[in-house]
Structure 1
């Protein structure tokens, strides 16, 4: 649904926004860009979404795009992997899209698109305003030291030429400062905004338990993730061994797919738990699965702001997670879900799962509070309002922040944090 903002006067044509993302694979960045493209008021912003092509094992969000009436321009040469000759061709194609569209704003998402998109924009005869969103970063957990240093040098160079840097969580923003990508105060935090009402309203039917062969009263643990190295799903499998020992009737489901699937299936067999772990692949309507699970786990080595935890809390399902990226803020430092060490290889996750299963009333209280919080803070309407304001301030800046005043979410978050601190002192 487009944001409810009065239209600009007829004399002011909508500002043209070219939005670029490397690929619309299953995950938060693709959902974010599609909802923004669909949700911005068309009388104020005319948006063209340009993306690359997903790998065969990744799955895509084209169904959501079609549902929202978004028709992306697809560039077959644009993808995640570095390939110098192909990337030069992609640079030319992106530049050509920009020459054709003549954008007022170029807003890039993800590292590869951020590099190619901003370089292409800098080569235009009329330089647009440049915005880049960090949905996470690749400064640890992804590559070796040499490649990481190269990526850091590129990001630092580009940041100096970018009008507005956005991070999806305060933790990601802090990392950008810590790694020298931006100076203190040089980044604005705009959290993800998702369509969460259906997660809160979906009721369990038992269909998924029957599909995954889980008894009605058996503990059921799940993970929703791309099966790629950074998600470290092998930690989830390691955690299940003591959980299954304590609860022989328990079962687990892995919703997702990716390059590591075969290795993870082999690891489940090696651990002797293959008969109790169901590999489902990508799930189209994940809300129906989440509401039936007892616990959802995230065990990533690095994250920006994980969609799976936001959606799980919106569905009213307990969560256990490694303390990475924006997770501590999302879970209010353990108030809305159980946190374990970022480098935990399984034991801490197992303890968190077992503690959640052992005290369902405490888990319910945590989850209920978390559900209220995510429904109020991570909605798509808030996202489009924040980004609309930020875009306008690129042309009419105020004195309060790098690109103008901070989005409304941050005054709200500050007040919420102060209220929570006051409540904690009273308890």
Structure 2
């Protein structure tokens, strides 16, 4: 691809992620592909085929003026022949596009993209680890392979980004991937305006799913996968229902465990008290109508639903895992409970429902930490610094002063 006609030099970037699905890494990649234009960057976003049930990720990208390039083979595969073919294909794409920077997200895309970038002679290579991928996601053999891939990829990287200080500690102490000095902490950057400007309890979500206006509504959002531990949410719901008999529970998302979870809900006597919605387009409406959002995962990086819910004024309860304690300031911004303890989770849910909640401290914290403008500025400084070390410099883009939220 040739340079666009412009009076200023453009920094070309190739951004890679694995599958184009509705999750934190992909949404972050889409938003940054759009936002970094303001700082003089042109981005080619590459990802694997979206799952059939999540086609709206392409619509979300289009709404930001981003057109991802789909590589059908770019999935979480460990097939050596497939990996070699993908590296060759990516290296060819990089030689054609000639990016100044390759920035990868997720382990598989991170390994393939960084190796291809080194082969293609890309000046700067950056990788973001959004989650701690070595607990709760894969079996022991697969986990060991991914640890080796991350260690190898770290040697190819000019910089590695994590989303929280806790995640950096884990990556340098529990399963050392690289030295602490080579990892920079940059929290997520999100467009939180739809949530901060939203009114509470509008009723649109409850009306759509036939949930009464006057009952406590407790929700959970995410892929229905083992690591998300929805079974714990259901166990806690059964206990909560004893104390709060009119409580209603909603599970937003889809995935391989849905049939099992539906059977479990019925076995726990939750029929009539729980709604499975699958994926929904207007998640803001759900935050508006929820009285509480729960995260019950075995492991997490920096989960988007918690940030969005707090920005929307909805209180949260979450398990003390991964990057969640950092996100919630050790419990100041939301209740933290031990993982795999349904009684503790249920008690935290009931206590939160019965306590007057002031949403302003958490809302302000989310905007200050996770607004996309802050991340774009931080990344611009990082990218230009790394390019300068390689002898590649560009004039700095000037921007109008930001309006306050």
For normalisation by structure 1, the TM-score amounts to: 0.86
Matched, 1:134 2:129: yes
How far residue 147 of structure 1 moved from its aligned partner, in angstroms, is: 2.5
For 1:76, the equivalent position in structure 2 comes to 72
135-144 or 23-32, which deviates more: 135-144
Q: Distance in 2 between matches of 1:234 and 1:133?
A: 30
Q: Distance in 2 between matches of 1:147 and 1:121?
A: 24
Q: Deviation digits for residues 231-279 of structure 1, max 9, x if unmatched?
A: 1111111110011111111101111111111111111011111221100
Given candidates 198, 201, 226, the residue that maps to 1:202 is 198
Matched, 1:116 2:112: yes
**Contact 1:54 1:60 (8 Å CA) reproduced:** no
For 2:254, the equivalent position in structure 1 comes to 257
Q: Deviation digits for residues 126-180 of structure 1, max 9, x if unmatched?
A: 3431100000132111223332222212211221221000001111111110111
**Residues 59 and 299 (structure 1 numbering): CA distance in 2 closer, same or farther, change over 3 Å?**
farther
For normalisation by structure 2, the TM-score amounts to: 0.91
For 1:244, the equivalent position in structure 2 comes to 241
For 1:395, the equivalent position in structure 2 comes to 387
**Contact 1:38 1:69 (8 Å CA) reproduced:** yes
Given candidates 329, 333, 346, the residue that maps to 1:332 is 329
**Residues 60 and 77 (structure 1 numbering): CA distance in 2 closer, same or farther, change over 3 Å?**
farther
**Contact 1:238 1:345 (8 Å CA) reproduced:** no
**Residues 55 and 239 (structure 1 numbering): CA distance in 2 closer, same or farther, change over 3 Å?**
same
Matched, 1:320 2:312: no
**Residues 111 and 117 (structure 1 numbering): CA distance in 2 closer, same or farther, change over 3 Å?**
same
21-30 or 34-43, which deviates more: 34-43
Q: Distance in 2 between matches of 1:34 and 1:262?
A: 31
How far residue 107 of structure 1 moved from its aligned partner, in angstroms, is: 0.5
Q: Where do 4+ consecutive residues of structure 1 move more than 6 Å?
A: none
How far residue 106 of structure 1 moved from its aligned partner, in angstroms, is: 0.7
For 2:362, the equivalent position in structure 1 comes to 370
Given candidates 46, 51, 56, the residue that maps to 1:50 is 46
**Contact 1:212 1:253 (8 Å CA) reproduced:** no
Q: Secondary structure at the match of 1:22?
A: strand
Q: Distance in 1 between matches of 2:78 and 2:180?
A: 30
Q: Distance in 2 between matches of 1:324 and 1:57?
A: 28
Q: Secondary structure at the match of 1:274?
A: coil
Q: Distance in 2 between matches of 1:146 and 1:105?
A: 32
How far residue 96 of structure 1 moved from its aligned partner, in angstroms, is: 1.7
Q: Structure 1 regions of 5+ residues with no counterpart?
A: 1-8, 399-427
Matched, 1:268 2:273: no
Q: Distance in 2 between matches of 1:163 and 1:36?
A: 19
Q: Secondary structure at the match of 2:294?
A: strand
**Residues 251 and 244 (structure 1 numbering): CA distance in 2 closer, same or farther, change over 3 Å?**
same
For 1:222, the equivalent position in structure 2 comes to 219
How far residue 102 of structure 1 moved from its aligned partner, in angstroms, is: 1.0
**Residues 345 and 80 (structure 1 numbering): CA distance in 2 closer, same or farther, change over 3 Å?**
farther
